[in-house]
Amino acid sequence: MVESIVSTGVAIGCIYALIGITYNVMFSASRVFSFTAGTLGMLGGVLGSLFIARMDMPVVVGFLLVLAAGALFGIVTEIVAVRPVLKSLDQHLYVLSTLALALIVQQFTAIEWSTEPQPFPRLLNIARGGFDQQFWLPMLACAAVIVGLELLYRHTLVGHAFLAIAEDNFAARALGLPERSLRMTSYALAGVIGALAGFAGGEMLLAYFGNAPMLTFYGFVPVALGGMGSNRGAVVAGLLLGLFQQTANFLVGGVFASVAVFTVFIIVLLARPEGLAGAAFQRRV
Amino acid sequence: MSMTRRQALKSAAAAAIAGGLAKPAIAANGPILVGYLPALTGPSSSTGVGINRGIQLAVQEINAAGGIDGRQIELITRDTQSDPTKAVNGAAELTRGQKVSVVFGPVNSGESLAVVPLLARTNTPQVHPCWVDSLTDPQKYPMCFRNAPTSQQIGAAANRYVVEVLKRKKVAVISDTTGYGTASVNAYVPMLKAKGAEVVYQGNVDAANPDLKPELLRMQSAGTEAIMPWSVNAGFLSRIINTRGDMGWDVPIVGQTTLGSGQTKALLVKPEYWAKVYPNNFRPVCYATDGKLSGRTSAFVDRLKSAKIDMGDTLLWWIAVGYDTPRMIAEAMKNVGTEPEQVVGYLNKLKGFPGVYGDISFAPDQHNGYPDNEVVMVEANSLRDGAFNLAPGYSA
C-alpha cells in the first residue's frame, strides 16, 4: 500500500506541480492567472497520442512536436486572451478571457479528437513493472523543469530579464527591457512546461479532453498553497497534494478523498493565506 | 360572355370552398411526416449513429414496399448534437412547425428528460429507446412509449446474473460521480440486497481519478466475489479492468454495456484483461452457445450486409432498435391510420410485435415494452460484427 501511495502520489503530484509552474511562469510575466494551464496539460496528452499512436511518428519527433505545439498555444494565449486585457488588470477580465480560450480549445478537442479517453502510447519499449515508466516519467519531467528553470533564472541574461519584469514591470521597461517580447517568451515557455506535464503523465491520465478542467483545478491548488509566483512552493505543494490525495484515496476512498483534499486546502489557506512559501503581502502607504 | 360581379364572387367562393375541401385529400395522399431527434454529433452520438443506420434502412424498406397505404414516410431529422436544449428546440419545431404525425427519439436519456414532458403537451405520439425509468408514465405522458428496457430491467438482469447464475453473494458496486452513476448505484444496491446478496463495497469515484487501485484493494479486502461497475465512461471502466488485471485478481466484472465497447477495449493494457468481463446486452441480438444468431436476427444481419451497412464500429442492438421503431409505427398506421389517438390506441394494445431487438408489448397502463427475460449478460471479449456471445451460464 505504501509503495502504491508513494509511486502514484508522487507521480500525480509532479504533474500538479508542473501545471502549477505553468501558472506561475505566465503569472510572473504578466500578473495574469491564465486558466489555460490545464488545457496545455490536456493538449500534451492528446497531441502526444495523436502524433505517436495515431500518426505513427517516432517518439522523439512526436515529443518535440508536442512541445512546439505547447509553445505555440502559449503565444496564442498571450496574444488573444492576455494582451487585450492587460490594461485593466484590476477588473480581472483575464479570468473570462483565458477561461473562454480554454473552453474553446477543450470543446474543439472534444469534437475533433474524441469525447472518450483514448490510449496514450508506451513511450519506452520496456516491460511493465512495479515502478513503471508511467510513474517515473512525470517525476523525471518535473525534475528536469526544476533544474532547467533554476539554470535559466539564475545563470542566464534572459532569465535575469524574466525575473526583472516579474519583480517590477515598469522599472524593467524603464531600463529598456523588451517587456512584450519577454512576456511572449514566458508564455511560450509556460506552454512547453504545460504540454510536457500532459505528455509525461499521458499514460496515467490518458488522452482525454476532460483532463483540461481537472488539471486547471488541481494544478491551481499548488499555486495557492505554495504561494503565487513561487515555483519552489508549487513543487512542494504539488507533491504534498499528490501524496495526500493518494493517501486519502486509500484511507477514505471515493468522493470523500476529494472532500479531504479540499478540507485541508481550506485549512492551510485559513492558517497561512499567503501560501506555504509566499511572502505576506505588504501594502504601501 | 360577360360576367357580373355577383357571378364572379360566387365563382371565387366556390373555388375557395373546393380548394379547401380538396386540401385534406391531397394531404392524405402526401407523405407521412415523421419527426426524428437523434444525436448524430456531440459527446453522446455513438448510440445515435448506430440507431440511425437501422432507422434509415427501415424507412427505405417501408417506402420501397409501397409505404403505408401508398403514402411514403418522410423522415424529418433534427440532430440534437447531444444537447438537451437543441433537442427541445427540435421537438418544438417538429411538432409546431412541421406538424409531424409521430416523433422517434431522442435516443439519449439526457435529451429525452427534457423532450418527453414537452411532447406530452403537443398531442404527438412518441417512441424512444431511453433507459431512465421516469421517461415513461402512462398518466403523465399517455402518448409516449419505450421500445427498450428500463434502468430497472438493466440492473435487475445484471443482479440476476451475479446472484443466480454466478452464485456470488459478496458484491462490490461502484460508479462514477455522474447523475447516471450515482442513481444506478442507489437503485441497484437495494435490489441486490433483496436478492440475498451482501453489498460489501459501495462507492462513487471521480471518473478522472487515474488510480483505482485503492478502491479495488478495499473491495478485495472486503471479500468481494463480483464487481459491478455502473458508468458509461470508458476510461473509468478500463481502469477498473486494468487494475484488476495488474492485481492478478480473477473476480468477475458484471455491469454496464460500455464494458464491452470498442473504446473500453482500446484502453486495456492487455487484451486478456477483457476476460471475465460481462456487460449487459440483449438475447435476440447475441450469439447463442452454438455461435449463431437467431433466425430473425440472422436474416436482419444479411439485409444489413446487402445494404452495405457497417457493423464493425457500432453495436448490433443499436441498429436493431432503430430498425424496429419505424416498422412498429408503420404497422400501427397501416391498421388504424395516422391520427394520434388511433396510433396510441393501437400501441396500447400491442402484443408481441416481432422486433429484431425483441418482442414488444404495451398495455394502457404499461408503456415499457421490452421483455425482462431478453436482457442478458454477454462475454465482452467475444465482440464480432457488433454482437456478443451470451455469458456463461445461460441456456441456449
Nearest to A145 by CA among A41, A249, A61: A41
The shortest CB-CB distance from A210 to any of B177, B208, B267 is to: B208
**Residue in A19, A111, A116 to test binding to B, most B beta-carbons within 10 Å:** A116
Locate B94 and state its grid cell. 417538429
More confident residue, A168 or B80: B80
Q: Which of B40-44, B258-262, B275-279 has the lowest mean pLDDT?
A: B40-44
pLDDT digits (tens, 9 = 90+) for B206-264: 888 888 999 999 999 999 999 999 988 888 999 999 999 999 999 999 999 889 888 88
Listed in sequence order, the DSSP H helices in B148-212 are 151-160, 179-194
pLDDT at residue number A91: 78
**Residue in B206, B211, B263 to test binding to A, most A beta-carbons within 10 Å:** B211
User: Helix or strand or coil: residue B362?
Assistant: coil
Question: From CA B278, how far away is CA B378, in angstroms rounded?
Answer: 5
Locate B24 and state its grid cell. 385534406
Question: From CA B197, how far away is CA B191, in angstroms rounded?
Answer: 9
Q: What is the DSSP string of B78-93?
A: ---TT-HHHHHHHHHI
pLDDT at residue number B394: 85
Locate A270 and state its grid cell. 485559513
pLDDT at B6 over 80: no
Question: From CA B111, how far away is CA B83, in angstroms rounded?
Answer: 7
Nearest to A27 by CA among A91, A102, A77, A67: A77
Contact (CB<8Å) B214/A116 = no
The amino acid present at A285, given as its one-letter code, is V
Question: From CA B296, how far away is CA A50, in angstroms rounded?
Answer: 42
Express as a percent the part of chain A with pLDDT over 70. Answer: 96
Helix axes of A37-48 and A211-226: crossing angle, nearest 10 degrees: 130
The answer to the question of residue A146 being in a domain is yes
CB B318 within 8 A of CB B96: no
Chain A hits for B181, Cβ within 8 Å: none
The whole model's pTM is what? Answer: 0.81
Question: From CA B394, how far away is CA B396, in angstroms rounded?
Answer: 6
Contact (CB<8Å) B263/A116 = yes
ipTM: 0.80
The answer to the question of residue A93 being in a domain is yes
The answer to the question of residue A86 being in a domain is yes
pLDDT digits (tens, 9 = 90+) for B320-338: 999 999 999 999 999 999 9
Residue with cell 488573444: A80
Q: Could you tell me how far CA A110 lies from the centroid of its own chain?
A: 20
CB B244 within 8 A of CB B216: yes
Chain A hits for B217, Cβ within 8 Å: 1, 250
* Chain A CB within 8 Å of residue B209 CB: yes
The per-residue pLDDT of chain B, averaged, comes to 89
Res. B13 pLDDT band, cuts 50 70 90: low
Over range B194-216, report the average pLDDT: 91
Q: Which residue of B has its CA nearest to A130?
A: B246
CB B54 within 8 A of CB B318: yes
pLDDT at residue number B179: 76
Locate A211 and state its grid cell. 483532463
Kindly report the number of other CB atoms within 10 A of residue B164's CB atom.
Answer: 12
Q: What is the DSSP string of A225-258?
A: HH-TT-HHHHHHHHHHHHHHHHHHHHHT-HHHHH
Locate B198 and state its grid cell. 451482501
CB A60 within 8 A of CB A127: no
Over range B143-166, report the average pLDDT: 95
The answer to the question of residue A66 being in a domain is yes
Strands (E), chain A: none
Chain A hits for B248, Cβ within 8 Å: none
pLDDT at A50 over 70: yes
Q: Going from the N-terminus, what domains does chain B have, and what CATH number goes with each?
A: 29-151+297-372 (3.40.50.2300), 163-289+377-390 (3.40.50.2300)
Locate A212 and state its grid cell. 483540461
The answer to the question of residue A156 being in a domain is yes
Contact (CB<8Å) B203/A205 = no
CB A240 within 8 A of CB A226: no
Helical (H) or strand (E) element with A283: none
CB B376 within 8 A of CB B283: yes
pLDDT at residue number B29: 73
Domain that holds residue A201: 2-121+131-271
Q: Tell me how many domains chain A contains.
A: 1
Q: How many CA atoms lie within 13 A of A20 on its CB side?
A: 33
Chain A hits for B42, Cβ within 8 Å: 111, 115
Q: Say what the alpha-carbon torsion angle A49, A51, A57, A61 is, to the nearest 10 degrees.
A: -110
Contact (CB<8Å) B177/A255 = yes
Question: From CA B148, how far away is CA B151, in angstroms rounded?
Answer: 10
Contact (CB<8Å) B211/A253 = no
Q: Say what the alpha-carbon torsion angle A71, A75, A76, A81 is, to the nearest 10 degrees.
A: 130
Residue with cell 395522399: B29
pLDDT digits (tens, 9 = 90+) for B107-142: 988 889 999 999 999 999 999 999 989 999 999 999
Phi, psi of B207 (to 5 degrees): -65, -20
Chain B hits for A246, Cβ within 8 Å: 211, 214
The answer to the question of residue A126 being in a domain is no
The answer to the question of residue A280 being in a domain is no
User: In Å, what is the CA distance from B218 to each residue of A200, B67, B172, B212?
Assistant: 29, 59, 10, 10
pLDDT at residue number B25: 38
Question: From CA B332, how far away is CA A150, in angstroms rounded?
Answer: 76
The answer to the question of residue A281 being in a domain is no
Question: From CA A102, how far away is CA A191, in angstroms rounded?
Answer: 13
Contact (CB<8Å) A253/B203 = yes
pLDDT at A284 over 70: no
